[in-house]
Amino acid sequence: LGATLFVVPEAAGYHRQCFHELHRTGVEIGLHYHPQDHGHPDFLGAFTADEQREMLAEATATWAGALGWAPRVFRPGNFSANDATFPVLTSLGYLAGSVSCPLRNFGEVRAHWAGAPLDAHFAHRANRLMPGDGTHALDFLEAPLTVDWESIMWGGRTPLELRLEMVDARAHGFTIRKVIQRQMDEGRQPHLVPMTHNVFDYSDCSEFRRQVLEGVIAEMQQAAGEQGLTLRSTTLLELRASRLAAVSR
């Protein structure tokens, strides 16, 4: 299975050769952004459209200068965003992202996603909590982090996320099966968006998160088999292309 790596601008320069090698194997590389790392006083969702456009344009240019191509997919730190974020990203040439964490209500990091769509959709040009439709649809495919919409954690701030470091593989397995069943019942193409961070040593077989990673992959494979599905990885840009193709048919 492949991956999408969301990379902060500084890491793009420091690990340039590594990212070039990964990119050649089909790994998708996108921009990850924390405003505080660049001298700004708050999280992304606290800033106006003009402020976001200026700071993200600068980060995009730094990232592109390091790797030699412009990023086209994006995730903000802490899933912090507001109604200006999707139009700003589109204006800067971004085509897809994983900006939202449905049901997250985390005021401290300016991340309010209660009521946001649970599954991949084209973003709305005016309202981050609505899927785009007709003239209000942006050319930006949003793939939310997979969550258990009936759970709550972190003192009510967020649902159980398909975040590898959050719980063990068995608990994630319940979320995986539950999400796939809901998507199939709703007539949607089943898809999952897990995540983790690179602060854990996944090369160490004794590392608990490595064991969770292997267990989650096994849970996905088993859940797919139970539903007669085939498990395969896809990049966000590939997912966007498939959705556009489906619309044009």
Q: Find the DSSP H helices in the chain.
A: 9-14, 16-24, 49-67, 85-91, 169-185, 208-226, 236-248
DSSP per-residue letters across 174-202: HHHHHHHHHHHHTTPPP----B--TTS-T
Whole-Å CA distances, 240 to 121, 143, 177, 235: 9, 9, 24, 9
pLDDT for res 249: 67
pLDDT for res 1: 86
pLDDT digits (tens, 9 = 90+) for 133-183: 999 999 999 999 999 999 999 999 999 999 999 999 999 999 999 999 999
Q: Is the pLDDT of residue 223 over 90?
A: yes
pLDDT digits (tens, 9 = 90+) for 229-249: 999 999 999 999 999 998 776
pLDDT for res 171: 97
The percentage of the chain sitting over the pLDDT mark of 90, rounded to a whole number, equals 98
pLDDT digits (tens, 9 = 90+) for 2-48: 899 999 999 999 999 999 999 999 999 999 999 999 999 999 999 99
Mean model confidence pLDDT for the chain = 97
pLDDT for res 185: 98
pLDDT digits (tens, 9 = 90+) for 52-86: 999 999 999 999 999 999 999 999 999 999 999 99
Confidence (pTM): 0.96
pLDDT for res 104: 98
* Measured distance CA(167)–CA(170) in Å, rounded: 8
3-state secondary structure of 163: strand
* Measured distance CA(176)–CA(173) in Å, rounded: 5
pLDDT for res 114: 97
- If you average pLDDT over residues 117-121, what whole number do you get? 98
Kindly report the three-state secondary structure assignment for every residue of 12-30.
Answer: HHHCHHHHHHHHHCCCEEE
* Measured distance CA(175)–CA(150) in Å, rounded: 10
